[in-house]
């Protein structure tokens, strides 16, 4: 049984489940090289089928992780739907579309639009060659919830989703019991916290739906005054069982509109105020549903949970026994939820996110030859990489299957020694990234418990770099380059069985320096997706003026 899951949204992609096992997943952005690509994911579909050695005609079932978003209406206006400019994202026209979707669902008429979308998709797939596949659509938040439930190992689990607005809904509460997931509650799209956070991101001069993480990082540099906190609370708050309706429209006047008044405070204070009030509202939401259901193991999905500081606050709640954050928590992850929901298998630990394209040594060697590079093929690749890291070099690592999701997890990664506080300045400058953004560490699982406070409650999530933790004194002393100004870090915790070579690099670096961590940041050019192919890696290596490229079995120094 071959099941193809498809995310056809502003962050499109595909996932493949074979005989109940997740075997491949890829985001369209990695193929077409357009950040957060919203193109129909033919490239990602081809990639996951290639990895499984399958063709269109072999697929038994195709499930789209959305029912009527984007609807037939927005499919007629792709340039509006995929716009990255504030004029489209927060215009009155967009608000009208939200109202349209919410009204359809409330009136019970949304199934008519589901049917219209389904007809369009059937025609599109059949024209391409999907002849025998049964084609189905799944509710947006159901796909989020299924991904969160099926990829963790607690048989009884509270599953919460919070997203900007999918299929007329912005949040749900669900309980999974022994393989069955039941929705207990949902909330309309008018309480779209994500869109509200994105609106403030734009007001502060950043790109909405892309730079929200910068607001989270910026929030650590100031403390918002109470007047500003109350200003945010007037818009965003928990009201039980969900959230207040929020206003994210573009202000008509900079003097008296809600967003216009934010100019009275510094951008650091605004970022802190927004982050503080977000944490208040969502932790109250989590506590409410834990107490109401009596289920203390929590799994979350949806774009708001890309906020790693928020996830830390959830994990710290006394009422929560464990927290799992689905690693591709945004709409790109809908593909996995849609595909895995059809398996009927009980939930189990997600073994890996190295689900993307892999490349042979022969393919890599050919690309290096075309680029006129002269690589080495050392007998001890790990030793050569560690030697360069000890010398303070920036090593780009390209190995195995590409990561699926927004985080670099060691296979398309830049590694740097973390013991200099100044690394945040010079490395961000070289990568042309915002200077206030902290770098993340990678550490071994045997070290994580003593380096990060509260690690045990979110150990599974920490494998995928989705939660912040307060760091220990040892971490502050030995790896200040990946500790944020607020004393936290967002680690990737690696087990030896996840990637023995990656683990060995950490082990031998620790033996050589006494430092139990490395900086791990994404291997990409600024504002581009993480690299996918050897060609992408060689290009970024050259343009980024990186010191060394470890690619497959080869090693290339920039001077070569």
- The rounded distance, in Å, linking the Cα atoms of 303 and 307 is 8
Helix (H) or strand (E) holding 15: strand 13-18
Contact 372, 542 (CB under 8 A): no
3-class secondary structure, 548: strand
Over range 38-52, report the average pLDDT.
96
Over range 38-62, report the average pLDDT.
96
Q: Is 521 left (phi over 0), alpha (psi -120 to 50) or beta?
A: beta
> Is the alpha carbon torsion for 80, 82, 83, 89 positive or negative?
positive
Contact 304, 193 (CB under 8 A): yes
Percent of the chain predicted with pLDDT > 70: 92
Across 104-108, 528-532, 539-543, least confident range: 104-108
3-class secondary structure, 5: strand
Spell out the domains of the chain, with CATH numbers in brackets.
2-84+106-148 (3.30.420.40), 152-330 (3.30.420.40), 361-557 (3.90.870.20)
- The rounded distance, in Å, linking the Cα atoms of 95 and 88 is 10
3-class secondary structure, 123: helix
Helix (H) or strand (E) holding 450: helix 445-451
Question: Nearest to residue 549, comparing CAs of 303, 381, 351, 329?
Answer: 381
Residue with tokens 């100031």: 222
Across 61-75, 173-187, 199-213, least confident range: 61-75
Confidence of residue 89 (pLDDT cuts 50, 70, 90): low
Tell me if the bond preceding 147 is cis, omega within 30° of 0. no
- The rounded distance, in Å, linking the Cα atoms of 400 and 410 is 9
Across 65-69, 88-92, 553-557, least confident range: 88-92
Tell me if the bond preceding 297 is cis, omega within 30° of 0. no
DSSP 353: S
- The rounded distance, in Å, linking the Cα atoms of 465 and 394 is 20
- Convert the pLDDT of each residue in 337-369 to its tens digit: 999 998 777 899 999 999 999 999 999 999 999
If you average pLDDT over every residue of the chain, what do you get? 91
Contact 165, 101 (CB under 8 A): yes
- The rounded distance, in Å, linking the Cα atoms of 168 and 335 is 19
Does this model's pTM top 0.75? My answer is yes
- Convert the pLDDT of each residue in 264-320 to its tens digit: 999 999 999 999 999 999 999 999 999 999 999 999 999 999 999 999 999 999 999
Query: What pLDDT shows up at residue 91?
Result: 56
- The rounded distance, in Å, linking the Cα atoms of 370 and 431 is 25
């Amino acid at each position: 049984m071959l099941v193809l899951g498809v995310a056809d949204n502003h962050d499109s992609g595909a996932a493949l489940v074979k005989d109940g096992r997740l075997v491949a997943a890829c985001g369209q952005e990695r193929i077409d090289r357009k950040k957060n690509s919203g193109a129909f994911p033919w490239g990602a579909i081809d990639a996951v089928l290639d990895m499984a050695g399958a063709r269109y005609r072999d697929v038994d079932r195709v499930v789209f992780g959305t029912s009527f978003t984007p609807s037939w209406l927005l499919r007629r206006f792709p340039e509006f739907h995929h716009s990255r400019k504030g004029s489209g994202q927060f215009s009155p026209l967009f608000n009208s579309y939200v109202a349209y979707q919410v009204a359809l669902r409330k009136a019970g008429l949304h199934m008519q639009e589901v049917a219209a979308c389904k007809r369009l998709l059937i025609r599109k797939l059949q024209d391409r060659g999907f002849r025998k596949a049964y084609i189905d659509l799944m509710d947006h938040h159901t796909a989020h919830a299924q991904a969160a439930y099926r990829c963790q190992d607690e048989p009884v689990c509270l599953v919460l989703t919070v997203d900007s607005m999918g299929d007329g809904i912005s949040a749900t509460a669900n309980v999974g019991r022994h393989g069955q997931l039941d929705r207990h509650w949902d909330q309309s799209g008018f309480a779209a916290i994500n869109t509200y956070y994105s609106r403030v991101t734009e007001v502060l001069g950043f790109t909405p739906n892309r730079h929200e993480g910068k607001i989270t990082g910026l929030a650590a540099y100031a403390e918002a005054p109470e007047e500003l906190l109350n200003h945010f609370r007037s818009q965003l708050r928990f009201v039980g069982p969900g959230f207040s309706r929020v206003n994210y429209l573009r202000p008509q006047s900079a003097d008296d509109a809600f967003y216009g008044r934010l100019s009275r405070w510094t951008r650091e204070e605004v970022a802190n105020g927004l982050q503080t009030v977000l944490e208040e509202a969502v932790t109250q939401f989590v506590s409410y549903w834990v107490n109401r259901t009596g289920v203390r193991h929590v799994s979350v999905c949806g774009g708001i949970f890309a906020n790693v500081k928020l996830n830390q606050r959830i994990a710290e709640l006394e009422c929560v026994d464990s927290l799992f954050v689905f690693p591709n928590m945004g709409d790109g992850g809908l593909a996995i939820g849609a595909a895995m929901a059809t398996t009927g298998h009980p939930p189990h630990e997600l073994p890996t996110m190295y689900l993307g394209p892999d490349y042979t040594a022969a393919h890599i060697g050919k690309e290096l030859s075309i680029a006129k590079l002269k690589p080495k093929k050392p007998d001890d690749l790990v030793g050569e990489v560690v030697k360069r890291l000890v010398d303070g070099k920036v090593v780009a690592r390209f190995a195995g299957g590409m990561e699926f999701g927004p985080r670099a997890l060691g296979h398309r990664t830049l590694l740097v020694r973390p013991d200099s506080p100044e690394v945040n300045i010079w490395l961000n400058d070289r990568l042309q990234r915002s200077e206030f953004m902290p770098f993340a560490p990678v550490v071994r699982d045997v070290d994580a418990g003593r380096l990060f406070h509260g690690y045990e409650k979110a150990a599974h999530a920490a494998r995928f770099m989705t939660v912040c933790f307060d760091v220990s004194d040892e971490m502050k002393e030995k790896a200040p380059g990946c500790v944020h100004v607020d004393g936290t870090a967002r680690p990737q915790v690696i087990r030896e069985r996840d990637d023995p070579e990656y683990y060995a690099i950490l082990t031998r670096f620790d033996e050589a320096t006494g430092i139990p961590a490395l900086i791990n940041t994404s291997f990409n050019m600024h504002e581009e997706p993480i690299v996918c192919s050897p060609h992408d890696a060689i290009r970024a290596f050259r343009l980024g003026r990186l010191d060394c490229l470890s690619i497959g079995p080869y090693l290339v120094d920039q001077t070569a």
